[in-house]
A and B are shown apart, each in its own frame.
Chain A
Amino acid sequence: MSTEVSTLSRLNPADFAVPAAMDKIRSRSLVVGVFFGLLALIGYFTSPDAFFRAYLLGFMAWLGVSLGSLGLLLVIHLTNGRWGLVIRRILEAAAKNCWIMFFLFIPLCLGVPRLYPWAKADLLANSESLRWIHGEYLSLDKFAARGAVYFAIWLLLIHFFTEWSKQQDSPGNRSHSRLGALAGPGALLFGFTITFAAVDWVMSLSYGWTSTIYGLLFLIGQLLSALCLATIVAVILARYEPMKALLHIDHLHDYGKFMLTFTMVWAYFAFSQWLIMWAGNLPEEITWYKDRLHGGWQYFGLFLALFHFVVPFMMLLSAQLKKNKGTLVKVACWMLFMRYLDLYWLIMPNFENKGGFYFHWLNVVVPVAIGGVWVALFFRNLQGRPLLPLYAPLTGAVLEPAHE
């Protein structure tokens, strides 16, 4: 492969720097984050219960993007796809934001007594099963300790995947084999930790209800969120060099295909869970759906079925749409919004307002506040490295596809 060698010897990291125009997005999102953060703070003092519910929603939504990015990195290193190299730095920057999610986990622990039935003394007094799980598994100290373990695993994985990737910016590195070797065990750890975290943080809001597919539902949702964010950022970057030359139409097509696949898998998991519980009609299971399919929530659920699956599914079938930056980004933005709504539908019907649909202004403010800070830090992470690993095995092929 003599062509690659000649290309690689010419590479200059400065040619792959993040365009300066990103500074504007970074500072603006920080302003949005701080402004909404202040609003959220007001909410915290005026209605703390609603604040923590909204906080959990925002936390899960943005954690999902970070962890989903880690998940996609694992997929990329397991499969060596060329599609992955172009968005790898974006995913690494997003995954690195797991650090702030770790710090944001601490306030969540403070909100535990307001959120979870297993931490409420009156409910504990009345329920033997709740007392049992409280003693064995779901108590504040165990909740916090397990959370620390999950974050330790994620942060460690992210550390290796970003540091070894950094080594690929200099010639003669041997990172490729190490990245590949860690991806397999990494995927295993990733799958299990996300499952257990989803049980701790969301499923235990309705203790007594269980579903074995629940973790996978979160997993696929996170992969979808991360892919949508990476696509959006890649297209924004593609207005400028170097991404303008790097982001090939075939890559866009691939991201669109992945979006379609993840959307279908999400629907498959969600539908399977619903069908099995609906047909079983057992009191301890169907109540969870009763809360979500009555009192206004049924329209919400229908909206999810139509616009988290049916409509994007049909749109993403079109190859033309997937190859067009403008339309694909619109779908990606929409899907990110749908991810938020899906989490809303999973989280919010758990609380007392079971009489009907529940909306609080904080449910918008807090996720936006976290998101503003998240996006600002994301761009800061992104600016730290060249937009392409300069000496990864596929770099030559991505830079000069004409030689293939």
Chain B
Amino acid sequence: MSTQDIVLDREGLAEVPVIEPGHTLASVTEKISDIVLVRPLSIGWVAGFLACASLVGVLGVAVGYLFYKGTGIWGINIPVGWGFAIVNFVWWIGIGHAGTLISAILHLLRQSWRNSINRFAEAMTLFAVMCAGVFPLIHVGRPWLAYWLFPIPNTMGVWPQFRSPLLWDVFAVSTYATISAVFWYTGLIPDLATLRDRATTPIPRFIYGALALGWRGEARHWHRYESAYLLLAGLSTPLVLSVHTVVSFDFAISIMPGWHTTVFPPYFVAGAIYSGFAMVLILAIPVRAVYNLKDMITERHLENAAKVMLATGLIVAYGYILEIYMAWYSGPKSIDWFTVHNRFFGPYAGPYWALWICNIIIPQVLWIKSVRRSPFLLFLISLVVLAGMWLERFVIVILSLHRDFVPSSWGMYYPTKWDWATYFGTIGLFLMLIFLFVRVLPMISIFEIRMLLPEAEAKHK
């Protein structure tokens, strides 16, 4: 028995395989590739795709009108200069993190259960980063000048401020997007070749063939592939930490109460992984039901994802509690204590307590094993967590800005319909890309699942 496939049950020596028994090399290939190549379009898929596409239309209108009128159509004002755009940016970037964690870190830790979910988790990362990238670009107000963000030598003497974490963010996010895309594509190559070989009509064969870059499955190809993949996993690993750390610096480097606190870097990273795993579950649970993949995305996968959610959720709770504790410890006259008081009892107390309920209180049911193994409950909890993590960013961005040191500059923030339209529009964009993805690419890595079969064991040691 391969060491990597053994997990110990709580009771002792029972073994739980990563995938259900009964599969052969051929049946794995057939089952996954047929979803792309053979399965006809269903009404459900078309309806879902069109619904999401219409939300993308809404996004187009919202952004178009924004470019025509300017950021005045949003609810932002002085003092709340960072509204929904930054809330949504951080939310989306965070969601992407689970994909990188699953594909890179779990690969390095030799966690073979990741093989069933890494492909679509990586796709999720890529699409989430795309959605995130929309916001800073449109938030600058003059999107045609967005290239000013980059240090491009020019005659105008415009040069970015390298001490600003906002600039670090440009590099962090663009590096992240690049590495994630390359990592994803590299992992896809052997499967693209499988699709090329199995395609029965010329157009898919041509497209998959071009994308497969001449992969023939030679020993040399595999050798180079494995080294490249390992190197990319190594490159991606620090990105799991660095990207959201830099995002947390966007806030913490300033001296705004509620932003300027040292626990932000690890707590942002934990929060990112928390929301990311929630999104993985939200996608995995319906997909495994609709495409009948319960034998490959098993209850064990769901349970492991739930455990990661529970652990990262508790780290997030640690962050919340520490912020309150340190504010209290600083004394009743400290600005930090005022900030906490304002969160508890101020005009935005509703979102604040909703955040506690969604992010901390409800997810505690994940301590119960039967909950972790119930797809339906996990789906609901994941929705709650995603809402909670969105509220967390809302609390951080809006509640900190709306009341700072000087009471005369206090204000309120109310999102407009354009704020909501842009937000829901990106959700539509994300889901539309997921809908396309499951139909045109193998959503589960075919060759990595084959490695989990007993036949592959000796080679994969």
Least CB distance, B310 to chain A, in whole angstroms:
8
B287 adjacent to chain A (CB < 8 Å): no
Are B318 and A276 neighbours in the complex by a CB distance under 8 Å? no
Q: How far is the CA of A268 from the CA of B270 in the complex (A)?
A: 14
Interface majority SS (helix, strand, loop, mixed), chain A: helix
Are B3 and A404 neighbours in the complex by a CB distance under 8 Å? yes
Are B1 and A282 neighbours in the complex by a CB distance under 8 Å? no
Which residues from A are CB-within-8-Å of B276? none
B264 adjacent to chain A (CB < 8 Å): yes
B265 adjacent to chain A (CB < 8 Å): yes
Are B255 and A213 neighbours in the complex by a CB distance under 8 Å? no
Known contacts A181-B10, A393-B12; is-contact A195 B322 (Cβ 8 Å):
yes
8 Å CB interface, A219-272 against B: 268-269, 272
- Of B260, B323, B333, B336, the contact of A276 (CB 8 Å cutoff): B260
8 Å CB interface, B248-262 against A: 249, 252-255, 260-262
Q: Flag B1-19 by CB within 8 Å of A: 1 or 0 each.
A: 1110001101111000000
Are A212 and B10 neighbours in the complex by a CB distance under 8 Å? no
Are B367 and A212 neighbours in the complex by a CB distance under 8 Å? no
Known contacts A213-B266, A276-B252; is-contact A199 B329 (Cβ 8 Å):
yes
Known contacts A137-B329, A199-B329, A393-B8; is-contact A273 B318 (Cβ 8 Å):
no
A337 adjacent to chain B (CB < 8 Å): no
Are B262 and A212 neighbours in the complex by a CB distance under 8 Å? yes
B263 adjacent to chain A (CB < 8 Å): yes
A180 adjacent to chain B (CB < 8 Å): yes
Which residues from A are CB-within-8-Å of B241? 268
Q: How far is the CA of A80 from the CA of B3 in the complex (A)?
A: 13
- How many A-B residue pairs have C-beta atoms within 8 angstroms? Tell me: 91
B336 to A, closest residue via Cβ: A210
B374 adjacent to chain A (CB < 8 Å): no
Which residues from A are CB-within-8-Å of B7? 80
Which residues from A are CB-within-8-Å of B266? 213, 216, 268-269, 272
B331 adjacent to chain A (CB < 8 Å): yes
Are B262 and A394 neighbours in the complex by a CB distance under 8 Å? no
Are A133 and B329 neighbours in the complex by a CB distance under 8 Å? yes
Q: Flag B306-329 by CB within 8 Å of A: 1 or 0 each.
A: 000010001000110111001001
Q: How far is the CA of A216 from the CA of B10 in the complex (A)?
A: 29
Which residues from B are CB-within-8-Å of A215? 322
B7 to A, closest residue via Cβ: A80
Are B13 and A213 neighbours in the complex by a CB distance under 8 Å? no
The interface size bin for chain B is 35 or more
- Of B1, B13, B255, B318, the contact of A191 (CB 8 Å cutoff): B318
Which residues from B are CB-within-8-Å of A210? 326, 329-330, 336
Q: How far is the CA of A132 from the CA of B281 in the complex (A)?
A: 48
Which residues from B are CB-within-8-Å of A276? 249, 252-253, 260-262, 264
Which residues from A are CB-within-8-Å of B180? none
8 Å CB interface, A90-132 against B: 129, 132
8 Å CB interface, A119-165 against B: 129, 132-133, 137
Which residues from B are CB-within-8-Å of A273? 262
Are A211 and B262 neighbours in the complex by a CB distance under 8 Å? yes
Known contacts A129-B331, A176-B10, A177-B11; is-contact A275 B322 (Cβ 8 Å):
no
8 Å CB interface, B203-261 against A: 241, 245, 249, 252-255, 260-261
Which residues from A are CB-within-8-Å of B347? none
Are A279 and B253 neighbours in the complex by a CB distance under 8 Å? yes
Which residues from A are CB-within-8-Å of B454? none
Q: How far is the CA of A199 from the CA of B322 in the complex (A)?
A: 11
B160 adjacent to chain A (CB < 8 Å): no
Which residues from A are CB-within-8-Å of B318? 191-192, 195
Q: How far is the CA of A212 from the CA of B321 in the complex (A)?
A: 10
Q: How far is the CA of A204 from the CA of B211 in the complex (A)?
A: 61
Which residues from B are CB-within-8-Å of A181? 10
Q: How far is the CA of A213 from the CA of B245 in the complex (A)?
A: 13
Q: How far is the CA of A272 from the CA of B10 in the complex (A)?
A: 38
Q: How far is the CA of A268 from the CA of B265 in the complex (A)?
A: 9
- Of B1, B12, B326, the contact of A404 (CB 8 Å cutoff): B1
Least CB distance, A84 to chain B, in whole angstroms:
12
A14 adjacent to chain B (CB < 8 Å): no
Which residues from B are CB-within-8-Å of A268? 241, 245, 265-266
Q: How far is the CA of A397 from the CA of B266 in the complex (A)?
A: 35
Q: Flag A368-404 by CB within 8 Å of B: 1 or 0 each.
A: 0000000000000000000000000110010000001
Are B263 and A132 neighbours in the complex by a CB distance under 8 Å? no
B4 to A, closest residue via Cβ: A404
B323 to A, closest residue via Cβ: A212
B332 to A, closest residue via Cβ: A132
Least CB distance, B240 to chain A, in whole angstroms:
12
A21 adjacent to chain B (CB < 8 Å): no
- Of B1, B254, B314, B326, the contact of A212 (CB 8 Å cutoff): B326
Least CB distance, B234 to chain A, in whole angstroms:
11
8 Å CB interface, B366-401 against A: 367
Are B249 and A394 neighbours in the complex by a CB distance under 8 Å? no
Are A133 and B253 neighbours in the complex by a CB distance under 8 Å? no
Q: How far is the CA of A132 from the CA of B337 in the complex (A)?
A: 14
Question: Chain A interface (Cβ within 8 Å of chain B)?
Answer: 1, 4, 80, 129, 132-133, 137, 174, 176-177, 180-181, 184, 188, 191-192, 195, 199, 210-216, 268-269, 272-273, 275-277, 279-282, 393-394, 397, 404
Identify 8 new A-B residue pairs, CB closer than 8 A, beyond the known A129-B331, A212-B262: A80-B7, A137-B329, A176-B8, A180-B10, A212-B264, A216-B266, A276-B253, A280-B255
- 17 of the cross-chain contacts (CB-CB < 8 Å) are A4-B13, A80-B8, A133-B329, A137-B329, A176-B11, A177-B11, A181-B10, A210-B329, A211-B262, A214-B262, A216-B263, A272-B262, A272-B266, A276-B260, A276-B261, A280-B255, A404-B2
The 8 closest A-B CB pairs, nearest first, are A212-B263, A213-B262, A272-B265, A279-B253, A177-B10, A273-B262, A211-B262, A212-B322
